[in-house]
Amino acid sequence: MKIYKIIVVCLLPFSLKGFAEEPDGDVPADTIALEEVQISAQRMNQFSTGLKISSIEKELIEEYKTQSLAELLAMHSQIFIKSYSNGGITSPSTRGSGASHTAVLWNGFNLQDPMNGMANLTNIPMSFIDKIDIQQGGSGALYGSGALGGAIHLNSNMPYNKGLEIKTHQKYGSYQNIFNAINLNYSNQNFSSSSRLFRHSSQNNYDYENIASINRKTEKLANASYQRFGFLQSLKYKINNRHEIVLHGWYQDSFNELPSTMLNVNPGQEEQKDQHLRLTAGWRRLGEKSTTIIRTALFNGKNRYTNPTLNDTTNNLSNSLIAEIEQKFQLGNNHLINLGINETYEKASSENYGNEKNRNRMSFFTSYKIFNRKKTFSSTLSFRNEIINNATSPITYSLGIKAKIFDWMTLSSNFAKNYRVPTFNELYWGNWGNPDLKPEKGFSEDIGLTLQKNLKDHVAQFNITIFNSNIDDWIIWVPDHTIWTPKNVQKVWSRGIESSLNYYFTLNKVQLRFNASYNYTRTTNEANNQLMNKQLIYVPLHQYNWGITTKYKIFELKYNESFTGKRYTSENNQQYVDDFSVGNIHLGMNFNAKMFTGKLAFSVNNIWNKSYQVMAWYPMPLRNYNIQLTLNFNHKQ
């Protein structure tokens, strides 16, 4: 409780300044300016009324071009990123939910693996992404299974009429961390192409203090190297003012050694290789009052895991074929209707399953939005019904409201029923998978307040959201006399507060920016057993980050800090990993020539040299350094 008071006190001097003018905070505008809408982002932009969505600033995306999505989110979002080593495997946890409860949507298609329900955020290079929107809170009616806790929306930006653009990103850092990428973009009036290539590797053999060893020896992390490369080709073609086609093809090869914990005195030997091919195609027709989108995707994933100690090699293969048709109409000046069908066919095979497994999922979804002429009030009601292998699962729905009470104040609220269908591992793994599992289901509610003030030299934004969510039939593996098997037994109640603050101002050519966010997440086990009312493992109660950016002429200096409170590691809350706070400094220099622009930057990560762990007994690196160079060539014909 103490913490609320502190936050309130902190925010008080700020709010006293008063707010006036200018609309809209971090929630995307409810615009129906059709030209601006991307094929993939339509639903998020127009029908996620009342949901808490925050966009990652373009500048931050640029700063992280030589890193992965995981690293950006760990420092700058309110999602807890579970990381098993620096640059190693990660998974997101939103509002206390599990690793398979945050949908990761790439140009509108869900990247969560059908086998384990996860999306490894380290395997998403930032040089392939142009836009990130983070949605906290469930939205099953809009995005289907998996979006129980939240969703991360990743989009490519492909403008027309920009001529030829060549971008290179290079990084060299501690532990032989080497990143190279080149983006080749070309566009004219009705055609746009973007070719992107990257390679990233690191020995990742950092020193750490082994607090589990007899004399707290300093040791070098072993078996933690990684190596990834990938290619992304995107094409967009405007047939005429009404018709447009978009194609994306992404191939990536990722190799990760998996370090063992510091509890194990032997170095790890496990490793994992992932190969992904993702192809998508979309067509859009724009009418005066209606839009049609037809799109399809083919995702192919290969994962090979080896553990020489156990003489174990497992090959996991998955294929998803997705087809979707969506029709939007505007009725009069105040109503929007969206109707759609999604058909997803998933197929997977693995030594762990015996034979090949497949599943057919068909969803019908619809949204109805009403708004006033000034667009200061809007409300959306959505439904989705999914049929899995001919069996109907319960209908999910959501209702959202957003109202601009004053020019400087917006209220939003959302109520949603969400679900997650079991993964193939949960259904079919070995002799222990449980084919009778039901989908997990949950309800989430939130209410948010956004304040925004724009003055000549100042911009100030503040958001506070109170949320509540319940997940029922949460699938966990439990012992059942002779075996461990997944069952729909966990009941979880999560509630808390999220707040964020942004403040920009310019003073004598010096641009300054301050940002901070804080979240409080109480997530408890509600199943009637010995563990009732205990906080779930790996859900930090407190999390905050803050940063200051200053810019003067060609120079920029940033300091960011991210704090994660203690996480319990045992379900009975008797063991935990300590809280940690990481501070990073970034010094950049921008240079401009006629057709060239560039940036040279130097970063110090973990500047206070803290010894910490995100996941218990997996050490993270001490102070480390890197230097980055970005070059930009632009020639407009």
Partner 1 sequence: MMKKLNLIGWALLSLIISAALSSCEDDDYSAPTGTYTDGVFVVNEGNSSSGGSVSFYSYEGDTVSNNIFEKVNNRPLGTYVQSLTTFIDKAFIVVNGSNKLEVVEQNSFKEAATITGFDMPRYFTPVNGSKGYVTQWGNGGQIKIVDLNNYVITDTIEVGTGPEKMYSFYNNIYVANGGGLSVDSTIFVINTYYDKVVDTIEVGHNPKDMVIDSEGNLWVLCYGHVQYGEDWSVVFESPSELYKINTNDHSIINSYKISDNLHPEHIEISPDGNSIYYGGGFSFGNIYRMNIRDTELPSTPFSDKYFYGFNVDWTDGTLFALEAPDFTSNGFLYRIHPDGTILGDYEVGIGPNSIGLKKK
Which spans of this chain sit near partner 1 (rule: CB under 8 A)?
2-3, 6-7, 9-10, 13, 211-214, 216, 261, 263-266, 309-310, 352-355, 430-432, 478-479, 481-483, 505, 507, 512, 514, 516, 518, 529-531, 537-538, 542, 544, 546, 548, 561, 563, 565-566, 569-572, 574-576, 579, 581, 616-617
Considering the complex, state which of residue 292 and residue 506 has its C-beta at the smaller distance from partner 1: 506
Which residues, other chains included, contact 392 with Cβ-Cβ below 8 Å and sequence gap of 6+? 385, 386
In order of 8, 402, 505, 545, 550, the CA distances from 13 in angstroms are 10, 27, 16, 19, 22
Considering the complex, state which of residue 411 and residue 607 has its C-beta at the smaller distance from partner 1: 607
CB of 592 to partner 1, least distance (A): 28
Please tell me the distance from the alpha carbon of residue 186 to that of residue 35, in angstroms, as a whole number: 20
* Cα first-last separation, the chain: 61
Considering the complex, state which of residue 108 and residue 268 has its C-beta at the smaller distance from partner 1: 268
CA nearest neighbour of 160 among 281, 36, 56, 60: 36
Considering the complex, state which of residue 217 and residue 242 has its C-beta at the smaller distance from partner 1: 217
CB of 270 to partner 1, least distance (A): 13
CB of 387 to partner 1, least distance (A): 27
Considering the complex, state which of residue 349 and residue 444 has its C-beta at the smaller distance from partner 1: 349
Please tell me the distance from the alpha carbon of residue 133 to that of residue 137, in angstroms, as a whole number: 13
CA nearest neighbour of 497 among 463, 472, 525: 463
CB of 507 to partner 1, least distance (A): 6
Considering the complex, state which of residue 376 and residue 569 has its C-beta at the smaller distance from partner 1: 569
Amino acid occupying residue 471 = I
Cβ atoms of residues 419 and 439 within 8 Å: yes
CB of 542 to partner 1, least distance (A): 6
Considering the complex, state which of residue 131 and residue 359 has its C-beta at the smaller distance from partner 1: 359
Which run of H or E residues covers position 477?
strand 458-480
* Neighbouring C-beta atoms of residue 355, cutoff 10 Å: 7
Amino acid occupying residue 507 = L
Q: Rounded to an integer, what is the distance from CA 612 to the centroid of its chain? A: 23
Considering the complex, state which of residue 176 and residue 575 has its C-beta at the smaller distance from partner 1: 575
CB of 457 to partner 1, least distance (A): 9
CB of 479 to partner 1, least distance (A): 5
Tokens at residue 548, please? 């200051």
Cβ atoms of residues 330 and 318 within 8 Å: no
CB of 628 to partner 1, least distance (A): 26
Cβ atoms of residues 202 and 87 within 8 Å: yes
